């Protein structure tokens, strides 16, 4: 009895396609390990760079809006850092009051070092150093001698003789002592009722009055000196003097009325 067997041979096409797919996979693996794996882009082939990344020139360009919604219609000038107070002299990264700080009539004679330092801090600034004042002399009308120019210094053009005509200077934040010793810079004294450390056998300290504003502690004064800037000696920290405040650009001074 004849035995029937199929005379059909296996179709070679599927095998060829499978072999081709396997070969492509192996090639892609080799290329990716070597940093040159192909990637399709718009019908072309893009090769990875040495770092294994797609070159930036093949990446899509992201278009940004000309203005951020959060910034509204603000211009570059609006967003720039400016002096926090009106009528100030811009000195780069900081500002200085164009004139001496006005002292209310009720505070006349009280504008000593403590008053000036606290007033400047209250307004959001600080009492400038002597170096800052001298450095600003070419741009700021500092107090000066009576024969200095009113155009470049704080000298009154039409001085009132009844109020006195005198050379003027202004306070800086620098301090110096005029004598040696620890108490030259002041003292908190010894309060009544202070007791020594009994465990260490300390005797009770002798009460002494405080000296928070000693005459031996002076602040340095500065004058315009014909736009060159100059030192005008020292004055005790308890003595009143004209002063002006300095401010950091971008800070919020209280002179805006906030």
Helix ranges (H only) for 8-165 are: 12-33, 76-79, 113-122, 130-136
Round to whole Å and give the CA distance between 83 and 250.
6
For the domain spanning 84-178+216-256, the CATH number is 3.10.100
What does the pLDDT profile of the chain (258 residues) look like in tens digits? Answer: 454 444 555 565 556 556 666 666 655 555 555 544 455 455 567 777 877 777 877 777 766 555 544 555 555 555 567 899 998 999 999 999 999 999 999 999 999 999 999 999 999 999 999 999 999 999 999 999 999 999 999 998 888 888 899 999 999 999 999 999 988 999 999 999 999 999 999 999 999 999 999 999 999 999 999 999 999 999 999 999 999 999 999 866 655 444
Separation CA 56–CA 104 (nearest Å): 65
| pLDDT computed for residue 255 by the predictor | 55
| Cβ-Cβ contacts under 8 Å for 73 (sequence gap 6 or more) | 67
């Amino acid at each position: 009895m004849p035995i029937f067997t199929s005379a059909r041979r296996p179709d070679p096409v599927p095998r060829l396609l499978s072999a081709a797919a396997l070969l492509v996979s192996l090639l892609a693996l080799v290329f990716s390990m070597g940093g040159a794996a192909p990637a399709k882009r718009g019908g072309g082939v893009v090769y990875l760079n040495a770092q294994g990344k797609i070159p930036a020139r093949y990446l899509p360009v992201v278009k940004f809006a000309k203005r951020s919604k959060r910034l509204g219609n603000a211009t570059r000038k609006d967003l720039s850092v400016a002096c926090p107070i009106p009528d100030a002299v811009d000195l780069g990264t900081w500002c200085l009051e164009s004139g001496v700080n006005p002292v209310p009539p009720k505070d006349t004679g009280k504008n000593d070092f403590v008053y000036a330092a606290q007033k400047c801090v209250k307004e959001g600034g600080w009492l400038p150093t002597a170096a800052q004042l001298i450095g600003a002399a070419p741009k700021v009308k500092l107090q000066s001698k009576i024969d200095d120019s009113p155009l470049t210094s704080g000298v009154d053009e039409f001085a009132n003789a009844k109020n006195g005509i005198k050379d003027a200077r202004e306070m800086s934040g620098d301090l110096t002592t005029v004598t040696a010793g620890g108490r030259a810079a002041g003292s908190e004294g010894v309060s009544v009722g202070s007791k020594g450390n009994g465990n260490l056998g300390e005797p009770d300290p002798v009460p002494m009055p405080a000296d928070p504003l000693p005459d031996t502690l002076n602040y340095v004064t500065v004058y315009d000196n014909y736009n060159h800037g100059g030192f005008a000696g020292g004055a005790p920290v308890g003595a009143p003097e004209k002063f002006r405040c300095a401010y950091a650009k971008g800070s919020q001074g209280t002179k805006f009325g906030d």
